Amino acid sequence: MLVVHEIFGVHEHIKDICRRLAPLGYYAISPELFARQGDATRAQDFSKVIAIARRKPDAEVMSDLDATLAFAKASRSADVAHAAVIGFCWGGRQVWLYAAHNPSLKAAVAWYGPLSWSGHGDPPDVAGALKVPVLAFYGGLDGFIPPNQIEEIKAKLAAGGSESKIIVYPDAGHGFFADYRPDYRRAAAEASWSEATRWLKQHGV
């Protein structure tokens, strides 16, 4: 299970998600994707965090995730024939892109990944041709991801005949799954985790 971190890097919350996945039988691994750009976990303010993330090319993320899968395979502890990817915030966007990049994945799950970040090559641009089923969660009160963007990607998924699914929690904002943030909403977090684990099992992960 590839776990793609938030914009804040591989901090304790992301490590905890890996620990939650392990008892379910998953080999969960979260690579530090900003290793070349800077340590987002130690950035003093959000502008520096954004600057680190902006310096990370999408193509390099794809290559790094490929390398992480290769590492997992070489460990002989992971069944990469049944691999999946999940991600949060900045990582939720990368989930969509990696699902398009690596059609051998069994499934993908994205929590509140931005749908417009670079202006090109964003999730709506790849949604119509997806071969990997993506389950994505968004908050109805998310000021970073407006409803029209969600409707746009829904339409593209439908036009492409994808079995991917989007769930919106009306009373949740951005970061509703992150229990260390003020936006955390327990009901939405628990509901989305249940939906995610069911989705993964449904698709043979």
Tell me which residues are annotated as active site: 89, 142, 174
Contact 80, 179 (CB under 8 A): no
88 beta partners:
111
Closest CA to 128 of 96, 105, 106: 96
C-alpha span between 121 and 197 (Å, rounded)? 28
Tokens describing residue 63: 């290559």
Q: Dump the DSSP string for 61-115.
A: HHHHHHHHHHHHHHHTS--GGG-EEEEETHHHHHHHHHHHH-TT-SEEEEES--S
- The CA distances from residue 28 to 17, 67, 85, 87, in Å, are 9, 14, 10, 12
Q: How far apart, in Å, do the first and last CA atoms of the chain sit?
A: 9
